[in-house]
Amino acid sequence: MLSAESLEIQDMLRSAMRDRRGDEGLERHFRAFDTICSATQDRQDAVHAMLDADDLDVMIVVGGYNSSNTQALASMCAPRVPTFHIDNPASVEASVIRYRPVGGGAEARLEGWLPAASVTVGLTAGASTPDSVVGGVIERLLAVRGHSAAQLPVPSVMGSATL
């Protein structure tokens, strides 16, 4: 669930309690706590900005298949751009990508996932995904195009690049 959806549900519950108990009873009968991890919120905000600003051709979302915040990131991207939720660098091969389809299901394989022409790839990761895993994915993506991480001007955990 996205943080915006959680906050919307919170507002609906607050409104229902206000309707039932009135303003004077609201404070006694309704409390809300911000339980959304700031790292998760930061990633969701960054993905929104990336989707709005970049002309992405493909999106890679890195993180555990059971991670709800990683699944939420993939769900945000899928309606706008082909999205691949991968769990490790070995998922990226020259002509094949192993990924979990957005919405669940068994891991799938897709050949020819990365067009031969120049493409802009967006990259994000779940809040608990180790930097070393994200770095490994970046290295694999670059290697697919015959490049190396040493050629990047500024390392980035979240962003896009044209390959």
Q: Write the CATH number for 125.
A: 3.40.1010.20
The tens digit of pLDDT for each residue in 1-46 reads 555 667 788 788 888 888 888 888 787 877 776 666 777 888 888 8
Question: Is the same domain home to 29 and 51?
Answer: no
Q: What radius of gyration do the chain's Cα atoms show?
A: 19
Which residues lie below 8 Å from residue 93, measured CB to CB, with a gap of 6+? 140, 144
Question: Does residue 41 lie within any of the structural domains?
Answer: no
The residue that leads in pLDDT, 133 or 8, is 133
Question: Is the same domain home to 27 and 51?
Answer: no
* Residue pair 84/146 in contact by the 8 Å Cβ criterion: no
Question: Is the same domain home to 4 and 75?
Answer: no
pLDDT exceeds cutoff 70 at 93: yes
Residue span of the structural domain in which 3 resides: 1-36
Residue linked to tokens 């990226």 = 92
The tens digit of pLDDT for each residue in 103-126 reads 888 999 999 999 888 899 999 999
Which residues lie below 8 Å from residue 137, measured CB to CB, with a gap of 6+? 60, 62, 86, 88, 89, 91, 92, 123
Model confidence pTM above 0.85? no
Dihedral sign (CA 68, 160, 86, 58): positive
- Average pLDDT in the chain: 85
pLDDT of res. 101: 96
pLDDT of res. 161: 61
Domain count, the chain: 2
Question: How would residue 90 be classed by pLDDT, with cut points 50, 70 and 90?
Answer: very high
3-class SS at 65?
Answer: coil
Residue linked to tokens 């001007």 = 153
